[in-house]
Amino acid sequence: MVTLELTISLLAVGLLVGIPLALGQVYARRELVLLTSIYERFFRSIPALVLLFLFFFGSSFLGISLSPFLSAVLALGFRSSAYQSQIFRGAIQSIRQGQMTAARSIGMSKFQAIWHVILPQALRRSIPSWSNEYSSVVKDTSLAYAVGVIELVRQGRYIIVRTFEPMIIYITIAVIYFVLTYAGNRFLGYLEGRLEIPGFEAKRRKE
């Protein structure tokens, strides 16, 4: 249903924008780093709801006509990219310098080193935090209701208007969201297990 489409689309946007952003933060020149920091700060300091409105109204302000769905995807997608870039940045920086040095010393270009050595490791390390972001995003899609997207909450309200049982409907909706987040987290945990490199400190966090 729409909620899932929303989630997946905006996570994709977030991913596609987030990874380059993270790389920019770590490897690029100072001016670029500053730019990306500002981008990131902006998108993280403003409430999701405000961002949704900005994109929704902003598009018509700029003369482009966007469907509610699309403006929600863009708004939440860019927002997610700011958070995701943080996640990836942390993961990339947690990989020891030695790896990059070793890659360069066998003749790889910076780009090749990043693509073949750094990213595979960083992406694996990001999975737990990314799992959190997934949960956040699923729940934030409920806010798209405010700009008119016909997602889960709105559908719920339609039903309530007809049946007058708000409590039950809302609880059901809550349960559905819960299942979505839970299932997603389980899946990502499974993925993490499958991709684990034996002996790798993916399990650094011992409580």
Partner 1 sequence: MNFFELAYDILPALLKGTVVTLELTACSISLGFVLGICLALGRLYGNRPVSAFCAGYIQFFRGTPLLVQLLILYYGLPPYGIRLSSFVAGILGLGLNSAAYQAEYFRGAIQSISRGQMMAARAIGMSKFKTILNIILPQALRIVIPSWSNELIYTLKYSSVAYMIGAPELMAQGKIIAAENFRYFEVFLVVAFIYLVAVLIVSRALNMVERRVRIPGLQMAESI
12-33 as b/e: b if 16+ CB within 10 A: ebbbebbbebbbbbbbeeeeee
Nearest residue (CB) to partner 1, 113 versus 141: 141
Nearest residue (CB) to partner 1, 60 versus 67: 60
| Residue 131 CB, nearest approach to partner 1 (Å) | 13
Q: Where are the beta strands (DSSP E) in the chain?
A: none
**What six digits make up the tokens of 101?**
């040095």
| Residue 51 CB, nearest approach to partner 1 (Å) | 8
106-119 as b/e: b if 16+ CB within 10 A: eebeeeebbeebbb
Binding residues vs partner 1 (CB under 8 A): 42, 45-51, 53-54, 57-58, 60-61, 86, 135, 138-143, 145-146, 153, 160, 164-167, 170-171, 173-175, 177-178, 181-182, 207
| Residue 206 CB, nearest approach to partner 1 (Å) | 11
As a whole number of angstroms, the distance between CA 57 and CA 54 comes to 5
How far apart are the two ends of the chain, measured CA to CA in Å? Answer: 38
| Residue 95 CB, nearest approach to partner 1 (Å) | 16
